[in-house]
C-alpha cells in the first residue's frame, strides 16, 4: 500500500506544481530517495528511478506510480552508476519515453562502518566509485537534458506559467565537515560529491541550471540508520538525545527540502548544501553508531552489532 500524502509531504505544497515534468533519480528505490521521488510524483510529475536490483527497482516504481492516478514511473534495474555508458543510455530512454528530464537526483550511495585499520583499499575505492564517480556520471548523463529544460522553463525569479526545470540535487552527508571515525571512506567520497555539485552550479548556472546538495541527518526507518548504528535501546536513546531537536528526522522532511529546491521557492538557491539534520552535525562529537570514542579504537574492537549484508546501500 503506497504511503499517504501526509506521510510524504507537508501540507504547504500545492498540487500540480510539477505537472508533466520528469525526474531522473539514481538510487530511487532506497528509503530516502524513493520518498523524494514519490513527493515529486504526487505533485504532478513523472519519474525514472534507477538501481542495480531489477526486482526491487521495478517494484518500487510501480508503488510510487500508484501514489497519483495517471502518473508514469519507469523502474530501470541492472544499472550501475559506476558505468557512465549505462547511465547515458538510461537517461536517453527516460527522455524518450517520458518526454524530457527536467530534474535529477544523484542519490546512489555506498556506506558501512569501518575504522581505517579494517578498511581495505578496495573497500575505500568501492565507496569512492559509487558515491563520487556515480554522482559525476549521473550529472554527465542528465546535464544536456537539464540545460534544455532550463531553456524552456527560464529561471527569472518571476512566476513562470510553465513552472521550473533544469535542476539537480546531490544527496550527501556531514561527516567531512568535522571528520568522523569509522567513516573515512564516506567522508572522502561525500566531500567530492559536494565539490562536483558546486562546480556544476558555477559552470551550468549561466545556462539556467541550479545544482545543490541535500544532506540528511539521522532519519528514522531508513536502511542507512540500520546499517550505521547499533540498534539496542541505549544506543538509540543516546543517538536521539545527541540531536539538538531531540529526535531523528522523518523521510518527509527530506522530501520537503527536495521540493523546496525544485520549486519556484528555491529558484535563487544555487551552489548550496542544505543540511536537514536537526543541528546534529554541530554537536555530534566523535562517537559513531554507538561506538564510544576513543575506547573502541584503543581496544582494537571489531565493528559489530550493526546491520549486516551487502555493503552498498541507497539513500
State the catalytic residues: 172, 190
Buried b (16+ CB within 10 A) or exposed e, 5-35: beebbeeebeeebbeebbbbbbbbbbbbbbb
Alpha carbons 137 and 85: distance in angstroms, whole number: 9
- The CB density around residue 241, as the number of other CB atoms within 10 Å, is 10
Contact 184, 176 (CB under 8 A): no
Helix or strand or coil: residue 164?
coil
Backbone conformation region of residue 243, classed left if phi is above 0, alpha if psi is from -120 to 50, else beta: beta
Helix or strand run (H / E) with residue 244: none
On the CB side of 30, how many CA atoms lie within 13 Å of its CA?
30
Contact 147, 207 (CB under 8 A): yes
Contact 23, 261 (CB under 8 A): no
DSSP 131: I
Amino acid at each position: 500500500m503506497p504511503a499517504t500524502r501526509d506521510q510524504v509531504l507537508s501540507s504547504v505544497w500545492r498540487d500540480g506544481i510539477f505537472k508533466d515534468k520528469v525526474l531522473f533519480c539514481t538510487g530511487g528505490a532506497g528509503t530516502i530517495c524513493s520518498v523524494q521521488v514519490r513527493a515529486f510524483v504526487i505533485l504532478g510529475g513523472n519519474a525514472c528511478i534507477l538501481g542495480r536490483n531489477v526486482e526491487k527497482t521495478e517494484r518500487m516504481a510501480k508503488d510510487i506510480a500508484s501514489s497519483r492516478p495517471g502518473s508514469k514511473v519507469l523502474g530501470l534495474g541492472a544499472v550501475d552508476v559506476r558505468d557512465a555508458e549505462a547511465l547515458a543510455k538510461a537517461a536517453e530512454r527516460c527522455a524518450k519515453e517520458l518526454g524530457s528530464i527536467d530534474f535529477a537526483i544523484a542519490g546512489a550511495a555506498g556506506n558501512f562502518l569501518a575504522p581505517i585499520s579494517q578498511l581495505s583499499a578496495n573497500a575505500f575505492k568501492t565507496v569512492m566509485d559509487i558515491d563520487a564517480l556515480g554522482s559525476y556520471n549521473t550529472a554527465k548523463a542528465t546535464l544536456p537534458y537539464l540545460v534544455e529544460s532550463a531553456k524552456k522553463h527560464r529561471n527569472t525569479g518571476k512566476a513562470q506559467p510553465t513552472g521550473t526545470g533544469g535542476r539537480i540535487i546531490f544527496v550527501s552527508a556531514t561527516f567531512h565537515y568535522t571528520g568522523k571515525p569509522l567513516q573515512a571512506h564516506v567522508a572522502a567520497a561525500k566531500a567530492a560529491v559536494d565539490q562536483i555539485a558546486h562546480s556544476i552550479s558555477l559552470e551550468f548556472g549561466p545556462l539556467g541550471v541550479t545544482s545543490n546538495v541535500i544532506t540528511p541527518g539521522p532519519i528514522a526507518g531508513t536502511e542507512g540508520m540500520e546499517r550505521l548504528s547499533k540498534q539496542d535501546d541505549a544506543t538509540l536513546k543516546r543517538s536521539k538525545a545527541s540531536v539538538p531537536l531531540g529526535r531523528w528526522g522523518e523521510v518527509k522532511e527530506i522530501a520537503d527540502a527536495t521540493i523546496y529546491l525544485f520549486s519556484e521557492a528555491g529558484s535563487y538557491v544555487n551552489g548550496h548544501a542544505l543540511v536537514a539534520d536537526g543541528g546534529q552535525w554541530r554537536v555530534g562529537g566523535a562517537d559513531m553508531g554507538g561506538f564510544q570514542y576513543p575506547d573502541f579504537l584503543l581496544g582494537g574492537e571489531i565493528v559489530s552489532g550493526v546491520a549486516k549484508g551487502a555493503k552498498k546501500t541507497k539513500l
